[in-house]
A and B are shown apart, each in its own frame.
Chain A
Amino acid sequence: MITRMIVSALGDRGSLVFLGLLGVAALFVALSNLLLPPGSALHVPIHIVALLGKYVCYATLAVALDLVWGYCGILSLGHGAFFALGGYAMGMYLMRQVGTRGVYADPVLPDFMVFLNWKELPWFWHGFDSFPFSMLMVALVPGLLAFVFGWFAFRSRVTGVYLSIITQAMTYALMLAFFRNDMGFGGNNGLTDFKDIVGFNVQAQPTRIALFLISVAVLALTYAVARVLVTSTFGKVLVAIRDAESRARFLGYRVESYKLVVFVVSACMAGVAGALYVPQVGIINPGEFAPANSIEAVIWVAVGGRGTLTGAALGAVVVNAMKTTFTSGLLAPYWLFMLGGLFVLVTLALPKGIVGTLQGWFAKRGEAKRVETSEPSPPPEAPAAGKAESAS
Chain B
Amino acid sequence: MTDALLDDAAQKEAAARKASAKGSVLYLDGVSVSFDGFRALNELSLVLAPGEMRAIIGPNGAGKTTMMDVITGKTRPDEGEVLFDGTHDLTMLDEAEIANLGIGRKFQKPTVFEFHTVADNIRLALKGPRTTRSALFGARNRIPDDAIDEVLSRVRLIEHRARPAGDLSHGQKQWLEIGMLLAQDPKLLLVDEPVAGMTDAETEDTAELLREIATRHSVVVVEHDMSFVRALGVKVTCLHEGSVLAEGRIDVVSADERVIEVYLGR
Contacts and interface: CB of A to CB of B under 8 A. Distances in A.
Given A5-B137, A251-B184, A233 B123 contact: yes
Contacts of B180: 251
Interface string A218-259: 000000000001001110110110111011111111110110
A232 B116 contact: no
A387 B166 contact: yes
Contacts of B107: 246-247
Given A232-B136, A233-B141, A239 B116 contact: yes
B135 A237 contact: yes
Interface magnitude class on chain B: 35 or more
A99 B184 CA distance: 63
Contact of B111 (A5, A247, A252, A389): A247
Residue in A233, A261, A382 with the greatest tally of chain B CB atoms within 10 Å: A233
Contact of B164 (A2, A246, A254, A388): A388
B96 interface: yes
B124 A233 contact: yes
A252 B136 contact: no
B159 interface: yes
B116 A229 contact: no
A247 B95 CA distance: 10
B116 A236 contact: yes
Interface in A1-51: 1-2, 5
B125 interface: yes
B136 to A, nearest CB: 4
A375 interface: no
A243 B111 CA distance: 10
Contacts of A234: 132, 135-136, 140
Contacts of B136: 229, 232-234
A255 B95 CA distance: 10
Nearest to A241: B113
A384 interface: yes
Nearest to A383: B167
Interface in A53-92: none
Contacts of B184: 251-252
Interface string B138-173: 001100000000000000000100011111000000
Nearest to A387: B166
Interface string B103-137: 01101000111111000100111000011100111
A382 B130 contact: no
B140 A233 contact: yes
B209 interface: no
Residue in A5, A252, A255 with the greatest tally of chain B CB atoms within 10 Å: A252
B120 to A, nearest CB: 6
Residue in A1, A239, A242, A249 with the greatest tally of chain B CB atoms within 10 Å: A249
Contact of B100 (A1, A232, A252, A390): A252
Given A247-B107, A252-B96, A2 B137 contact: yes
A232 B124 CA distance: 12
A192 B136 CA distance: 41
A115 B86 CA distance: 71
Nearest to B143: A233
A199 interface: no
A376 interface: no
Interface residues of A, number: 36
A381 B96 CA distance: 35
Given A236-B116, A244-B112, A257-B131, A388 B95 contact: no
Contact of B96 (A229, A244, A255, A384): A255
Given A233-B123, A244-B111, A388-B165, A261 B132 contact: yes
Interface string A193-216: 000000000000000000000000
B72 interface: yes
Contact of B99 (A232, A249, A258): A249
A253 B72 CA distance: 13
Given A240-B124, A251-B99, A389 B115 contact: yes
B95 A250 contact: yes
A47 to B, nearest CB: 42
Nearest to B177: A247
B135 A243 contact: no
B130 to A, nearest CB: 5
A243 B100 CA distance: 21
A7 to B, nearest CB: 14
Contact of A232 (B96, B125, B135): B135
A133 B148 CA distance: 48
Given A1-B137, A232-B135, A387-B166, A246 B111 contact: yes
A232 B166 contact: no
Interface in B73-110: 74, 95-96, 99-100, 104-105, 107
Contacts of B100: 252
Given A252-B96, A257-B132, 12 more contacts: A229-B136, A233-B124, A246-B107, A247-B107, A247-B112, A248-B124, A251-B104, A253-B124, A254-B130, A254-B131, A387-B166, A388-B115
Interface of A: 1-2, 5, 229, 232-234, 236-237, 239-240, 242-244, 246-255, 257-258, 261, 379, 381-382, 384, 386-390
29 contacts: A1-B137, A2-B137, A229-B136, A232-B135, A232-B136, A233-B123, A234-B140, A236-B116, A236-B123, A237-B135, A239-B113, A243-B115, A246-B74, A247-B111, A250-B72, A250-B99, A251-B124, A251-B180, A252-B100, A252-B130, A252-B184, A253-B124, A253-B130, A254-B96, A255-B96, A258-B135, A381-B167, A388-B114, A388-B115
Instruction: Report the 9 A-B pairs with minimum CB-CB distance, sorted nearest first.
Output: A388-B114, A388-B166, A252-B99, A234-B135, A233-B140, A249-B95, A252-B100, A234-B136, A233-B135
